[in-house]
């Protein structure tokens, strides 16, 4: 994280954390939702902000509406006329009388709580909320209400306003960023206000711009209402959101999904974000782009003509929601535009490994580019950018989001939370509470949860009057509620069937009617927490529940389709398939009857994950990886700026060095193999010219010569027989042979002796499957590695080669996903083949073992050469001369840390080496050095 102190982070998200509100500052309302929960209201939606709602709007031009407490809500409203008992029999209706009297002896009720009823009594209940869940007979309204219809405003430039939390912002992201504010010292938010702004005067916009930047480090992006409405309400929520969550609509509702004209507005919004970032970006800034609203933004910044330096800026993109399989994503007509937009970033992050794998496979199948386990090889470069014509590598990583555990613990200790915990325990003494908190749309599976709870009450009637389901619903639009699949009907059916004069099985509340303190109290007293999402990114509300259960340790019931469940730490929950109503009902019974010992054991596993994968870890790991990826992508100097090896300058140093270490690549440097199928399958014959050159070098007693190769031992044994004084590294570092000196040496040493190599059989089996489907391909099984030659034909980019490359990408992903983590493997891709070998094995590690005094392949001659693991700066002439020639960039970069090393690249591409040399000229140049005394 220390490296981030030197960088400002520009955080691009559709909605800013803060927004202007018309009028003077609101009077203080104890623990109001807008202050405490507004910023976190969407953290459990994977970053999806709730749709705009007139009733809850608190932006400029709207009339501030009071937010009711849970007490007032449960005193004054019923869920449905059919199912809800009279208000005086509502389970929470007597809360105030159950609490100790504020004036009574020993009362500890905080003043803020004492004044809740009084502060809200002057406001009339919101009639819109009172009938929210009732069935409506009117025609169905638009799915997402218009911004221009939802907001009224005043154009008076002198109209006073204040800045308040934005209830539409990505709360999980804001909380995560705030959790590292002491270390992330410089940041700048870029986003929209989340309210209508067409009528804002120029003076008002300038005032908002100035105050937002000065007070909240935020830069508003001004977008016309109609444009933002079409982008957000139509394309984002009716096209992207269903696609990303496996909810592709069925006919006849498919026209909008497949032929949405709103993509023009989506593109326009992304371009406005790009312009806003261009206006504030300075050298050294890191750009962090968030979520599916801005999938085009990374490439737009790379293509910037206004600020060309953005082509090399650190840019990270994080997808907070799920990412579907390629079979779903390919249904989008604009799929290529979206994928290429994301690939403009240095790093693309996801919540789970499954989402990252889906992205890699989707890019491979749709764009026909090489998708590797660690990222995407983008061959076409950045069109219009600084690297046009050159390939790029885009890192793809997994960064699970978490919560700020420390802040939540502090909040739980507040008197407000203790007060509500006391009330809940008094009211529900002897009863069990199942708590849920979800958004009312199809994806969250609220209907599935209610039906499972209904079945639970039917199968286990002994729990009638002893268990309640308290469901908190996140705010949404009326059309979303109607589309949620008859939630109101199920609530009415359950309450009408099982309610008594003193018992109501389902209590349904809305988030804006529950303060954060009350929410934490519910999590604290809950006997189980139930999540039945049909598809979800990271369910952070489950993390909050686990932390709030410190001391009670009650179980978590979690859908298998949430991102949280994919992590081993959360496998100690009670997993359910939300489509299996009987299974979910059984899980509820299991949770309520679980022994304390088992519940404690499960909770400890869950809690270990929660405290380990925190919000701080999420932010620091993502930004650090983004900087590292950008460094790896940009530090390689353009080949045109690397000088050709100058023998006039190097020969004097070479001549006068008492000890010289020569590290020479074999394939592609000293020897150009025949890469045709016939040449690859023919028996290996050592090239005479290369062998003669090696012997010439080895004949000089001041030289220690090492040949670095990827060939197997059986091939290199022929070279060793003809050049015994040369050390050899085989199979890219898996084996090394010390040069023969005074009749000693010449023995092969295994660098993988302690590794499990049983993966080779499984790997070959997988590759044989792909070989059958890829004409001309074949497998090479070696001692400790496996090579798949997927293309042996002409080098032109014909259709057959494109097919072979796609098959190679599929094979690599399959091997990495099924064997990589289990056996610790890595894959080295090539233009026509790829190599599978154990992790931490490379030519670089082999050279380190050669030079290290305690290394397994240490040679006495190398005693005067400094250890590569301890970089030397300013070493004297007695330390020797290291001369490396080849195309292994990792080794060349590592050797550059030595002051006495000269590195020469023969790869013909961007390099970190000090010199370059055409592979065809290597022999002539090397003979110049070999002929020196």
Q: Which residues contact 920 (CB under 8 A, 6 or more apart)?
A: none
User: Region 77-97: what's the mean pLDDT?
Assistant: 37
Q: What is the pLDDT of residue 858?
A: 55
Rounded to whole angstroms, the Cα distance separating 667 from 906 reads: 11
Q: If you average pLDDT over every residue of the chain, what do you get?
A: 79
What count of other Cβ atoms lies within 10 Å of the Cβ of residue 778? 17
Rounded to whole angstroms, the Cα distance separating 292 from 240 reads: 7
Q: What is the pLDDT of residue 158?
A: 54
For 262-352, strand residue ranges (E) read: 286-290, 315-318, 347-350
Q: Which residues contact 814 (CB under 8 A, 6 or more apart)?
A: 766
Q: What is the pLDDT of residue 42?
A: 39
Nearest to 444 by CA among 519, 526, 541, 516: 541
Banded pLDDT at 888 (limits 50, 70, 90): confident
Report residue 717 as tokens: 């044994």
Q: What is the pLDDT of residue 379?
A: 67
pLDDT at 142 > cutoff 70: no
Report residue 856 as tokens: 């397994």
Report residue 158 as tokens: 């002198």
Banded pLDDT at 368 (limits 50, 70, 90): confident
Burial of 465: CB neighbours in 10 Å, binned 0-12, 13-18, 19+: middle
Ramachandran class of 572: left when φ > 0, alpha when ψ lies in -120 to 50, beta otherwise: alpha
User: Region 899-922: what's the mean pLDDT?
Assistant: 86
Give me the residue label for tokens 């992790």: 839
The residues that bridge with 789 in the sheet, in sequence order, are: 778, 833
pLDDT at 302 > cutoff 50: yes
pLDDT at 918 > cutoff 70: yes
Model pLDDT for residues 716-732, shown as the tens digit of each residue? 999 999 999 999 999 99
Q: What is the pLDDT of residue 123?
A: 29
pLDDT at 275 > cutoff 50: yes
DSSP state of 665: E
Q: What is the pLDDT of residue 814?
A: 86
What count of other Cβ atoms lies within 10 Å of the Cβ of residue 819? 17
Listed range (437-441, 572-576, 780-784) with the worst mean pLDDT: 437-441
For the chain, give the number of residues. Answer: 933
Banded pLDDT at 391 (limits 50, 70, 90): low
Model pLDDT for residues 505-520, shown as the tens digit of each residue? 999 887 667 888 999 9
User: Region 610-637: what's the mean pLDDT?
Assistant: 87
Q: What are phi and psi of 490, to 5 degrees?
A: -65, -40
Report CA 401 to chain centroid distance, whole Å: 8
Grouping H, G, I as helix, E, B as strand and the rest as coil, residue 649 is helix
State the maximum Cα–Cα separation within the chain, in Å, rounded to a whole number: 105
Nearest to 687 by CA among 907, 925, 922: 922
Q: What is the pLDDT of residue 6?
A: 83
Residues 458, 493: contact at Cβ < 8 Å? Answer: no
The residues that bridge with 884 in the sheet, in sequence order, are: 663, 903
Model pLDDT for residues 146-199, shown as the tens digit of each residue? 333 333 344 444 567 888 899 889 989 999 999 998 888 899 999 999 888 888
The residues that bridge with 507 in the sheet, in sequence order, are: 470
pLDDT at 85 > cutoff 50: no
Residues 929, 883: contact at Cβ < 8 Å? Answer: yes
Q: What is the pLDDT of residue 293?
A: 96
Pairing of strands 528-531, 556-559: parallel
Q: What is the pLDDT of residue 380?
A: 52
Residues 811, 766: contact at Cβ < 8 Å? Answer: yes
Q: What is the pLDDT of residue 908?
A: 77
Compute the radius of gyration of the chain from its Cα atoms.
33
Residues 195, 151: contact at Cβ < 8 Å? Answer: yes
Within a 13 Å sphere around the CA of 483, how many CA atoms are in the beta-carbon half? 19
Q: What is the pLDDT of residue 596?
A: 94
Q: What is the pLDDT of residue 635?
A: 62
Helices 540-548 and 516-525: crossing angle in degrees, nearest 10, is: 60
Q: What is the pLDDT of residue 570?
A: 85
User: Region 408-419: what's the mean pLDDT?
Assistant: 93
Listed range (132-146, 245-259, 888-902) with the worst mean pLDDT: 132-146
Give me the residue label for tokens 């990412």: 323
pLDDT at 65 > cutoff 80: no
More confident residue, 220 or 477: 220
Within a 13 Å sphere around the CA of 527, how many CA atoms are in the beta-carbon half? 24
What count of other Cβ atoms lies within 10 Å of the Cβ of residue 784? 22
pLDDT at 577 > cutoff 80: yes
What is the percentage of the chain residues whose pLDDT exceeds 70? Answer: 77
Q: What is the pLDDT of residue 28?
A: 43
Q: What is the pLDDT of residue 399?
A: 94
pLDDT at 73 > cutoff 80: no
What is the percentage of the chain residues whose pLDDT exceeds 90? Answer: 47
User: Region 856-876: what's the mean pLDDT?
Assistant: 41
Q: Which residues contact 282 (CB under 8 A, 6 or more apart)?
A: 8
User: Region 695-700: what's the mean pLDDT?
Assistant: 93
Listed range (64-73, 415-424, 665-674, 689-698) with the worst mean pLDDT: 64-73
Model pLDDT for residues 638-664, shown as the tens digit of each residue? 666 788 999 889 999 998 888 899 999
More confident residue, 638 or 135: 638
Q: What is the pLDDT of residue 92?
A: 40
Q: What are phi and psi of 166, to 5 degrees?
A: -95, 115
What count of other Cβ atoms lies within 10 Å of the Cβ of residue 135? 12
Q: What is the pLDDT of residue 3?
A: 66
Q: What is the pLDDT of residue 64?
A: 36
pLDDT at 599 > cutoff 90: yes
Q: Which residues contact 892 (CB under 8 A, 6 or more apart)?
A: 884, 886, 903, 905, 911, 912, 913
The residues that bridge with 230 in the sheet, in sequence order, are: none
pLDDT at 486 > cutoff 60: yes
What count of other Cβ atoms lies within 10 Å of the Cβ of residue 138? 5
Q: What are phi and psi of 438, to 5 degrees?
A: -150, 165
pLDDT at 70 > cutoff 90: no
Banded pLDDT at 120 (limits 50, 70, 90): very low
Q: Which parts of 510-578 fold into alpha helices (H)?
A: 516-525, 540-548
User: Region 379-398: what's the mean pLDDT?
Assistant: 62
Listed range (49-63, 337-351, 678-692, 809-823) with the worst mean pLDDT: 49-63
The residues that bridge with 874 in the sheet, in sequence order, are: none
Q: What is the pLDDT of residue 329?
A: 92
Rounded to whole angstroms, the Cα distance separating 419 from 31 reads: 13
For 790-931, strand residue ranges (E) read: 825-829, 833-838, 881-886, 901-905, 915-916
pLDDT at 219 > cutoff 80: yes
Q: Which residues contact 639 (CB under 8 A, 6 or more apart)?
A: 908, 909, 910, 911, 916
User: Region 208-231: what's the mean pLDDT?
Assistant: 93
Helices 516-525 and 405-412: crossing angle in degrees, nearest 10, is: 90
Rounded to whole angstroms, the Cα distance separating 57 from 78 reads: 23
Q: What is the pLDDT of residue 257?
A: 57
């Amino acid at each position: 994280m220390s490296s981030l102190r030197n960088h400002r982070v520009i955080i691009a998200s559709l909605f800013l954390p803060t927004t202007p509100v018309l009028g003077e500052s609101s009077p203080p309302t104890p623990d109001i939702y807008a202050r405490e929960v507004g910023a976190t209201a969407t953290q459990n939606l994977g970053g999806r902000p709730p749709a705009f709602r007139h009733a809850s709007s608190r932006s400029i031009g709207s009339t501030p509406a009071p937010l009711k407490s849970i007490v007032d809500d449960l005193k004054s409203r019923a869920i449905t006329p059919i199912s809800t008992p009279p208000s005086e029999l509502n389970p929470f209706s007597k809360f105030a009388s159950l609490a100790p009297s504020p004036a009574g002896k020993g009362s500890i009720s905080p003043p803020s709580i004492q004044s809740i009823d009084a502060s809200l009594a002057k406001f009339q209940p919101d009639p819109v909320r009172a009938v929210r869940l009732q069935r409506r007979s009117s025609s169905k309204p638009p799915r997402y209400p218009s911004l221009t219809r939802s907001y009224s405003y005043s154009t008076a430039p002198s109209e006073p306003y204040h800045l308040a939390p934005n209830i539409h912002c990505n709360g999980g992201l804001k909380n995560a960023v705030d959790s590292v504010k002491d270390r992330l010292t410089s940041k700048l938010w870029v986003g929209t206000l989340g309210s209508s702004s067409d009528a804002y005067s120029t003076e008002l916009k300038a005032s908002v711009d100035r105050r937002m930047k000065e007070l909240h480090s935020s830069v508003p992006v001004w977008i016309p209402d109609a444009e933002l409405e079409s982008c957000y309400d139509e394309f984002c929520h009716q096209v992207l959101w269903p696609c990303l969550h496996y909810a592709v609509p069925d006919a006849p509702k498919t026209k909008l999904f497949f032929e949405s004209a709103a993509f023009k507005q989506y593109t326009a919004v992304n371009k406005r974000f790009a312009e806003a970032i261009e206006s504030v970006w300075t050298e050294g800034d890191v750009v962090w782009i968030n979520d599916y609203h801005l999938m085009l933004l990374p490439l737009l910044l790379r293509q910037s003509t206004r600020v060309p330096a953005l082509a090399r800026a650190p840019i990270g993109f994080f997808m907070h929601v799920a990412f579907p399989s390629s079979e779903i994503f390919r249904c989008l007509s604009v799929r290529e535009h979206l994928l290429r937009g994301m690939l403009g970033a240095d790093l693309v992050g996801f919540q789970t490994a499954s989402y990252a794998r889906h992205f890699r496979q989707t890019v491979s199948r749709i764009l026909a580019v090489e998708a590797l386990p660690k990222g995407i090889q983008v061959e076409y470069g950045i069109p219009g950018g600084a690297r046009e014509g050159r390939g790029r590598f885009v890192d793809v990583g997994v960064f699970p989001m978490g919560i700020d555990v420390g802040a939540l613990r502090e909040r739980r200790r507040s008197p407000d939370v203790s007060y509500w915990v006391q009330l809940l325990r008094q009211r529900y003494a002897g009863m069990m509470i199942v708590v849920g908190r979800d958004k009312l749309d199809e994806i969250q599976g609220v209907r599935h949860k209610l039906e499972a709870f209904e079945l639970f009450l039917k199968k286990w009637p002994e729990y009638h009057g002893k268990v309640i389901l308290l469901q908190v619903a996140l705010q949404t639009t009326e059309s979303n509620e109607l589309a949620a699949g008859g939630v109101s009907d199920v609530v009415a059916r359950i309450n009408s069937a099982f309610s008594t004069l003193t018992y109501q099985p389902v209590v349904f509340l809305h988030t804006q009617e529950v303060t954060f303190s009350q929410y934490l109290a519910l999590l604290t007293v809950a006997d189980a927490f139930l999540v039945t999402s049909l598809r979800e990114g990271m369910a952070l509300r489950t993390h909050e529940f686990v932390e709030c259960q410190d001391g009670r340790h009650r179980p978590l019931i979690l859908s298998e389709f949430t991102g949280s469940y994919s992590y081993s730490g959360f496998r100690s929950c009670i997993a359910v398939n939300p489509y299996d109503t009987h299974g979910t009902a059984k899980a509820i019974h299991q949770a309520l009857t679980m022994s304390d010992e088992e519940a404690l054991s499960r909770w400890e596993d869950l809690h270990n994950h929660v405290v380990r994968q925190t919000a701080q870890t999420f932010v620091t790991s993502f930004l650090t990886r983004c900087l590292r990826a950008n460094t790896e992508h940009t530090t390689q100097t353009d080949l045109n700026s690397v000088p050709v090896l100058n023998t006039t300058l190097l020969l004097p140093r070479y001549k006068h060095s008492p000890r010289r270490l020569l590290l020479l690549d074999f394939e592609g440097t000293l020897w150009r193999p025949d890469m045709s199928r016939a040449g690859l399958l023919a028996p290996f014959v050592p090239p005479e010219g290369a062998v003669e050159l090696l012997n010439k070098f080895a004949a000089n007693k001041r030289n220690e010569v090492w040949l670095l190769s990827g060939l197997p031992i059986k091939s290199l044994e022929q070279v060793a027989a003809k050049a015994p004084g040369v050390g050899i590294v085989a199979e890219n570092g898996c084996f090394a042979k010390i040069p023969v000196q005074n009749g000693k040496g010449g023995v092969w040493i295994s660098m993988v002796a302690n590794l499990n190599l049983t993966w080779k059989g499984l790997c070959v089996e997988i590759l044989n499957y792909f070989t059958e489907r890829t004409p001309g391909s074949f497998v090479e099984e070696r001692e400790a590695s496996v090579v798949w030659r997927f293309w042996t034909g002409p080098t032109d980019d014909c259709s057959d080669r494109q097919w072979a490359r796609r098959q190679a990408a599929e094979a690599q992903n399959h091997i990495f996903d099924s064997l990589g983590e289990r056996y610790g493997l890595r894959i080295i891709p090539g233009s026509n083949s790829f190599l599978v070998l154990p992790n931490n094995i490379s030519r670089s590690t082999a050279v380190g073992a050669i030079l290290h005094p305690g290394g397994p392949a240490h040679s006495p001659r190398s005693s005067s050469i400094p250890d590569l693991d301890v970089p030397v700066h300013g070493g004297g002439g007695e330390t020797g001369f290291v001369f490396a020639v080849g195309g292994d960039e990792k080794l060349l970069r590592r050797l550059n840390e030595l002051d006495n090393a000269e590195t020469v690249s023969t790869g013909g591409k961007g390099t970190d080496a000090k010199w370059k040399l055409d592979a065809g000229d290597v022999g002539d140049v090397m003979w110049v050095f070999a002929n020196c005394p």
